A = this chain, B = another copy of it.
Amino acid sequence: MVYTGLYDFMQLQRQAPDPLYLQIKDGLIAAIRAGDYAPHERLPSERELSEQYAVSRMTVRQALLSLVRDGVIYTRVGKGTFVAAPKIDQQLRTLTGFSQDVQARGGRPSSRVLDARVIGAAPEVAAALRITPQSEVIRLARLRLSDDLPLAVETAYLPFARFPALLTHDFAVESLYAVLEHQYGLALTQAEQVLEAVVADAEEVRLLELTAPAAVMRMQRLTVDSDGEPVEYVLSSYRGDRYKFRFALQAGR
C-alpha cells in the first residue's frame, strides 16, 4: 500500500489512458463526425485499420463491434464496414423548439405572430400547467414558416406570474426557447408529447394554405424545467405533407 497516496494523486492528475480499442473507437467517431466518411461510405477494412493503428485485427474488431452496437456503423460480410445513416438520437440530446428544429433540417425558420396577450387560463390549460383555473397565462399564437412556407400553427401557454416580462420580446424574430434559456436561465430537459393525426379544420386550411381535405399532425407538448415545474403548454398543428416527426426509441436504462 506504499503507493496509495501517489496513485490517488495520479488519479486526480489524469485518468488512466483509455484502452486501445476505445481510443480507436473515439478516433473513428471523430473521423466520421468530421465528415471524413459520408453515410453509407465504406471504411477501411479491418486488416487495413489494424495496420494504420498498429494493433491486432481483434483489437480493431472490438472497436468496430462497439460502434455497431451504438448504431454508428454496420458491417456486411464480404463487402466491408459502412457508416450508418446519421442517428436521430443525436437530435434528441437537447429539447428543441421549432426554430432549432427547422434549422437542423436545413431550413430557414421564421414566424408571424397571430396573437400575444395575457388571458385567464382555460381549465385544460390550467390543469396542464398545474396552476389554478382563471389565473393569468400568456397566450402566444404564431404561424411558423420554413423558408417562407407555412409549416405549422402553434399556440403556447406560459404562466404569467413566472414570466411577467416575456411579451416585451418580439417573437416574430426571437425564439421562445432561446429567450427562456438565456433570459430566464432555464434548462429545458423534459417534455411530454402527444401526437394525433386529424383532418385539418377550416382555420388550419386557411392559415397553412392547404387544399381541403388535408391532414395535419396535432401536437400537444408540456415542457418542464429541471425542477419538474411546468414551463409551457403548447398546442401545434403541423402540415402533414411537409412535416415528418422522427425520433429514436430506446428501451430500459
Chain B residues with Cβ below 8 Å from A246 are 192-195
Give the contact stretch, choosing among A1-9, A28-36, A214-222.
A214-222
User: Using a CB-CB cutoff of 8 Å, which residues 152-183 of chain A contact chain B?
Assistant: none
Given contacts A74-B130, A215-B215, A252-B189, contact A196 B245 (CB under 8 A): yes
Chain B residue nearest to A92 in the complex (CB): B252
Does A50 sit at the interface, judged by CB under 8 A? no
Chain B CB within 8 A of A44 CB: no
Q: Are A191 and B89 touching (Cβ within 8 A)?
A: no
A227 within 8 A of B: yes
Is there an interface contact between B249 and A191, defined as CB atoms closer than 8 Å? yes
Most chain B beta-carbon neighbours within 10 Å: one of A68, A87, A194, A245 = A245
Query: A197-B217, A251-B188 in contact; A228/B88 too (CB < 8 A)?
Result: no
A238: B residues at CB distance < 8 A: 197
Instruction: List residues of chain B with CB within 8 A of the CB of A74.
Output: 130, 228-229
- A213 in contact (CB, < 8 A): yes
Give the residue of B189, B197, B241 whose beta carbon is less than 8 angstroms from that of A216: B197
Give CA–CA (A46, B206) in the complex, Å: 52
The CA-CA distance from A103 to B194 in the complex, in Å, is 18
- Which residues of B lie under 8 Å from residue A192 when comparing CB positions? 87-88, 246-249
A251 neighbours in B (Cβ, 8 Å): 92-95, 188-190
Given contacts A94-B251, A199-B214, A213-B213, contact A71 B193 (CB under 8 A): no
Q: Is A76 an interface residue (CB 8 A)?
A: yes
CB neighbours (8 Å) of A93 from chain B are 251-253
A250: CB under 8 A from chain B?
Answer: yes
Instruction: Tell me the minimal C-beta distance from A205 to chain B in angstroms.
Output: 12
Instruction: Give A199-253 interface residues, CB cut-off 8 Å to B.
Output: 199, 213-217, 224, 226-229, 238, 240-241, 243-253
- Nearest neighbor of A214 in chain B, beta-carbon distance: B199
Residues on the B chain within 8 Å of A92, using CB: 249-252
Give A245 Cβ to nearest chain B Cβ, in Å.
4
